[in-house]
C-alpha cells in the first residue's frame, strides 16, 4: 500500500472523519472548506493567517529573550527571569489577539477546528503503539486540552455575547437604566473572576494600613486615616476620619489560599473613588484591616489584619470581553497551529 503497512494511514489515522475510495488521498470536508477559504480570501484562510502570525510572534519572542544579558549575579539572574516572564506574557496576549483576529476574519475557522478534533489523538495513539510514546502522549494531551478549551471558549463566547449593554444615558447613576447596567456589569465581572476552585465575597470594606512617620515610637504600621491639611485631604495616622474603601469582590483559591482583589468599572473612563485611589496602593504595599462582616467565606472575619496584597484587578468592559474570549482564542490558536503542523508533514 502507498501509505505503508498501517491501513489507517490512508485515512490520516482517522477513518471516522476521512474517506479514501481510491486509496490515494484522504478527503476531508474541513480541509476542502479551508482550501476554498484560502482561495477566496486575499490573506488566505484563518488557519493560515494565525499560523503565519504565530511563527512571527515566536521568532520575535525568541529574539527578545536572546537580547537579555546573561546573569552573572543573583540580581541579574532575577532580572533575566522577570524579563523572560514578561516577554512570555506578552507573547501569550499576542497569540490570543491573533486567534481573535483570525476568527473575526474567518469565523468558519472555529467550526473547522471542531471538525478536526480526533486527528491529533488518533495520530498520537498510532505513534504510541509504534514505540514513540513521548510524541504520541503529547499529541493526545494537546488535543484533549484543545477540546477542553473549545468547551470553555463556547461558554465564554456565549457569556461575551450576553454582556450587559451600556445605555449611555445622561445623568450617570441618577438614571435607573444606568444603575441597572452597572449592577449587571458588576455581577458579570464577578462571575468572570470566580473560578470553580475558589470562594468569593463581594462588597468588602477595607481600611488600609500606612507606615508610621519616621522616628515615631510604637507600631511600624497604623490604620490609615484621611485628614484635611492646608485645604488638601491627606493620608495620616492620627486625627481626621478613617480611610475606608469598598472593593467589589475578593476571591480565594481553594488550593493555594491566595487572595485576589477585583474591582468593576462599567465604562472605560469611570474613575476610582477617592478612598480607592488612596487605598488600593496602600493595600498593595503595606496591607489593611478588614472592616466588614461579610468576608468570612474567604477567611477574612471582621478585624483581620492583612499584609501586603497583590495589585487590585480593575475590570472595564474591554478587559471583561478579553477575559471571556481568551479560551476561545486559545483554542483557535491551538487548532490552527496543529493543523499547520499536519499540513507541513503531509506529502
Same domain, 305 and 200: yes
Distance of CA 83 to the CA centre of its chain: 19
Tens digit of each residue's pLDDT (9 = 90 or more) over 86-120: 887 787 778 777 777 877 788 887 777 766 666 66
Pair 96, 51 in one domain: yes
Q: Do 306 and 194 share a structural domain?
A: yes
| 202 bridge partner residues | 249
269 — pLDDT class (breaks 50, 70, 90): confident
Is residue 200's pLDDT more than 50?
Answer: yes
Judged against a pLDDT cut of 50, whether residue 3 lies above it is answered with no
pLDDT at 79 over 80: no
Statement to judge: residues 117 and 228 lie in one domain: no
71 and 145 assigned to the same domain: yes
pLDDT exceeding 70 applies to what percent of the chain?
73
Tell me if 12 is assigned to some domain. yes
Q: Residue 277's pLDDT is what? A: 93
Q: Between 315 and 158, whose confidence is greater?
A: 315
Tens of pLDDT, residues 290-337: 999 999 989 999 999 999 998 899 988 888 887 777 776 666 666 666
The distance of Cα 280 from the centroid of its chain, to the nearest Å, equals 22
In a domain, residue 172? The reply is: no
Residue 91 lies in a domain: yes
Task: Give the pLDDT band of residue 71 (cuts 50, 70, 90).
Answer: low
CA 342 – CA 58 distance, rounded (Å): 18
Same domain, 200 and 308: yes
Cell of 77: 539572574
Q: Return the higher-pLDDT residue of 340 and 67.
A: 67
Q: Which residue has the higher pLDDT, 129 or 28?
A: 129
* Residue 221: predicted pLDDT: 87
Same structural domain, 125 and 209? no
Return the pLDDT at 1.
Answer: 46
- Which residues touch 198 (CB under 8 Å, ≥6 apart)? 251, 252, 253, 254
Q: Structural domain tally of the chain?
A: 2
Beta-carbon contacts of residue 251 (< 8 Å; ≥ 6 apart): 193, 194, 195, 198, 199, 200, 259, 260, 262, 298
Q: Which three cell numbers stand for residue 242?
A: 478613617
SS3 (DSSP) at 144: helix
Task: Kindly state whether residue 320 falls inside one of the protein's structural domains.
Answer: no
Q: What SS3 state is found at 245?
A: strand
Is position 139 within any domain?
yes
The pTM of the whole model exceeds 0.75: no
Q: Is residue 98 part of a domain?
A: yes
Residues 51 and 136 in one domain: yes
Q: So what's the pLDDT on residue 328? A: 64
Range(s) of the domain holding residue 51: 7-159+326-345
Mean pLDDT of 251-270: 89
Residue 342 pLDDT class (50, 70, 90 cuts): low
pLDDT tens-digit series, residues 32-69: 788 888 888 888 888 788 888 888 888 888 888 888 87
* Cα–Cα distance for residue pair 261/248, rounded to 1 Å: 8
Same domain, 196 and 302: yes
pLDDT at residue 78, rounded to an integer: 72
Q: Is residue 209 in a domain?
A: yes
310/333 same-domain check: no
Mean pLDDT of the 140-159 span:
67
Instruction: Specify whether 141 is located in the same domain as 197.
Output: no
In a domain, 170, yes or no: no
**CB 9 within 8 Å of CB 26:** no
Indicate whether 12 and 149 sit together in one domain.
yes
What pLDDT, on a 0 to 100 scale, did the predictor assign at position 303? 94
Arithmetic mean of pLDDT, 206-216: 84
What are the φ and ψ backbone dihedral angles of 96, each rounded to 5 degrees? -60, -45
Between 77 and 9, whose confidence is greater? 77
Q: Give 230-246 pLDDT, tens digit per residue.
A: 888 889 888 889 999 99
Q: How far apart (Å, rounded) are the C-alpha atoms in residues 251 and 143?
A: 31
Residue 242 pLDDT: 93
Report the percent of the chain where pLDDT is more than 90: 20
Of 163 and 185, the one with more pLDDT: 185
Amino acid at each position: 500500500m502507498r501509505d505503508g503497512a498501517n491501513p489507517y494511514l490512508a485515512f490520516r489515522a482517522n477513518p471516522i472523519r476521512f474517506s479514501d475510495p481510491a486509496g490515494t488521498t484522504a478527503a476531508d470536508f474541513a480541509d476542502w472548506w479551508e482550501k476554498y477559504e484560502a482561495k477566496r480570501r486575499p490573506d488566505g484562510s484563518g488557519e493560515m493567517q494565525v499560523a503565519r502570525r504565530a511563527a512571527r510572534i515566536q521568532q520575535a519572542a525568541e529574539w527578545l529573550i536572546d537580547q537579555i544579558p546573561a546573569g552573572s549575579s543573583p540580581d541579574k539572574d532575577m532580572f533575566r527571569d522577570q524579563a523572560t516572564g514578561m516577554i512570555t506574557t506578552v507573547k501569550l496576549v499576542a497569540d490570543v489577539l491573533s486567534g481573535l483576529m483570525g476568527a473575526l476574519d474567518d469565523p468558519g475557522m472555529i467550526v473547522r477546528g471542531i471538525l478536526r478534533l480526533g486527528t491529533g489523538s488518533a495520530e498520537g495513539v498510532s505513534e504510541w503503539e509504534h514505540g514513540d510514546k513521548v510524541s504520541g502522549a503529547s499529541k493526545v494531551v494537546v488535543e484533549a486540552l484543545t477540546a477542553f478549551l473549545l468547551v470553555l471558549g463556547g461558554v465564554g463566547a456565549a457569556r461575551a455575547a450576553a454582556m450587559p449593554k451600556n445605555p449611555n444615558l445622561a445623568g450617570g447613576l441618577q438614571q435607573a437604566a444606568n444603575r441597572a447596567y452597572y449592577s449587571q456589569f458588576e455581577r458579570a465581572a464577578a462571575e468572570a473572576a470566580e473560578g470553580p476552585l475558589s470562594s468569593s465575597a463581594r462588597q468588602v470594606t477595607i481600611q488600609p494600613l500606612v507606615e508610621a512617620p519616621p522616628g515615631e515610637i510604637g507600631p511600624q504600621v497604623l490604620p490609615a486615616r484621611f485628614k484635611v491639611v492646608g485645604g488638601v485631604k491627606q493620608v495620616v495616622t492620627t486625627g481626621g476620619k478613617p480611610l475606608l474603601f469598598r472593593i467589589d469582590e475578593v476571591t480565594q483559591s481553594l488550593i493555594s489560599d491566595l487572595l485576589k482583589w477585583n474591582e468593576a468599572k462599567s465604562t472605560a473612563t469611570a474613575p476610582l473613588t477617592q478612598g480607592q485611589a488612596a487605598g488600593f496602593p496602600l493595600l498593595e504595599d503595606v496591607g489593611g484591616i478588614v472592616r466588614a462582616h461579610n468576608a468570612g467565606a474567604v477567611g477574612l472575619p471582621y478585624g483581620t489584619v492583612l499584609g501586603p496584597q497583590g495589585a487590585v484587578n480593575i475590570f472595564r468592559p474591554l478587559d471583561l470581553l478579553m477575559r471571556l474570549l481568551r479560551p476561545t482564542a486559545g483554542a483557535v490558536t491551538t487548532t490552527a497551529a496543529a493543523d499547520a503542523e499536519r499540513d507541513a508533514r503531509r506529502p
